[in-house]
Amino acid sequence: MMNKDALHPFSESLLAWYPANARELPWRQTRDPYVIWLSEIILQQTRVAQGLPYFHKLLHVFPTINHLAKADEALLFRNWQGLGYYSRARNLHKTARLVVEKFNGKFPQTYEQLVQLPGIGPYTAAAIASFAFDESVPVVDGNVFRILSRYFGIETDIMHSSARKQFTEIAQSLIPRAYAATFNQAIMEFGSLQCSPVPACETCPLRVSCVAFATNRTQTLPIKSKGKAPRNRYFNYFIVVQKHRVLVHMRHKKDIWQGLWEFVQHETSQLCELPEAIGPFGDLLAFPTTELRSPGKHLLSHQRIFSRAWLIQVPDFVDLAMFGDFQWMDAQDFEKCGKPVLILNIITDNLVLHELLV
Least distance (Å) between residue 209 CB and ligand SF4: 9
67 is a site residue for ligand SF4 (CB under 6 A): no
Which position among 11, 79, 81, 218 is part of the footprint of ligand SF4 (CB under 6 A)? 218
Q: Which stretch binds ligand SF4 (CB under 6 A): 30-38, 83-91, 201-209, 238-246?
A: 201-209
Kindly provide the b/e burial profile for residues 41-63, where b requires at least 16 CB atoms within 10 angstroms of the residue's own CB: bbbbebeeeebbebbeebbeebe
| Residue number with CB closer to ligand SF4 (41 or 147) | 147
14 is a site residue for ligand SF4 (CB under 6 A): no
256 is a site residue for ligand SF4 (CB under 6 A): no
Q: Which stretch binds ligand SF4 (CB under 6 A): 21-29, 53-61, 195-203, 306-314?
A: 195-203
Which position among 37, 54, 151, 235 is part of the footprint of ligand SF4 (CB under 6 A)? 151
| Residue number with CB closer to ligand SF4 (119 or 153) | 153
Nearest CA to 270 among 304, 227, 311, 310? 304
Strands 303-313, 231-242: pairing is: parallel
Q: Which stretch binds ligand SF4 (CB under 6 A): 57-65, 125-133, 212-220, 246-254?
A: 212-220
191 is a site residue for ligand SF4 (CB under 6 A): no
222 is a site residue for ligand SF4 (CB under 6 A): no
* Number of residues in contact with ligand SF4 under rule CB under 6 A: 15
Among 12, 24, 40, 73, the one annotated catalytic: 40
> Is-catalytic flag, 135?
no
Q: Which residues are catalytic?
A: 40
Residue ranges that bind ligand SF4, judged by CB under 6 A: 147, 150-151, 194-195, 199-201, 204, 206-207, 210, 212-213, 218
